[in-house]
Amino acid sequence: MTLTAAARLVERPEASARLRYAIDELDGTIREIRSTIFALQTPAGAPGLRARLVALVESARAQLGFLPALRLDGGLDTRVPGGIGDHLLAVVREGLSNVVRHARATRTTVSVCVEGSRLTLAVEDDGIGIPAQGRRSGLLNLRERAEALGGSCTAGPRPDGGTCLRWSVPLPPPGEACDED
């Protein structure tokens, strides 16, 4: 917050852009620490969805050359049934593999959010952007997975450049969610 206030006082645009970049980086680090703490709090036994997401995102670091930022919001371990969690992990894996293989990105953010009765994932990167037309293979599979669950999947350009993959599916009402399936 001190840095955000300072960024407003700095007059040189180049310096304030650098400050803002540093603030974004710090925010990302804070989010990662939070996610890790959540993951560590998951009871012993099979790792929960949060922990599996943290591990998956960390495993992409070597291929990407940088650690993706991870934002986790809402009751991932309480509201998402195992089957949907497995789909979600497969979608994150494909999204990150696309960033590694196609994007030429320097940053990527994986955001997973449970809000109301919806699970939404976004994998964003600052790379070269996705061609409007062209062959779709892994992405087609992601759309089919979403539609089979009554949801949707889109991949398109971000306003500031790069690509955003968005995957969103409905969740069962609270209380029914974590039955084995």
Ligand X SMILES: Nc1ncnc2c1ncn2[C@@H]1O[C@H](COP(=O)(O)OP(=O)(O)OP(=O)(O)O)[C@@H](O)[C@H]1O
Alpha carbons 24 and 26: distance in angstroms, whole number: 5
Partner touching 31 among Mg ion, ligand X, none, CB below 5 to 8 Å by kind? none
Residues 6 or more apart from 14 whose CB is under 8 A from it? Answer: none
Site string for Mg ion, 41-80 (x = CB under 5 A): ----------------------------------------
Tokens of 84: 């949907």
Pair type for strands 118-125 and 69-73: unpaired
35, 98, 109, 163: which one binds Mg ion (CB under 5 A): 98
The distance of closest approach from Cβ of residue 107 to ligand X in the complex, given in angstroms and rounded to an integer, is 12
- State which amino acid sits at residue 5: A
Shortest spacing between CB 59 and ligand X, in angstroms = 17
- Residue 173's binding partner among ligand X, Mg ion, none (Cβ under 5 to 8 angstroms by kind) is none
Residue with tokens 């350009």: 157
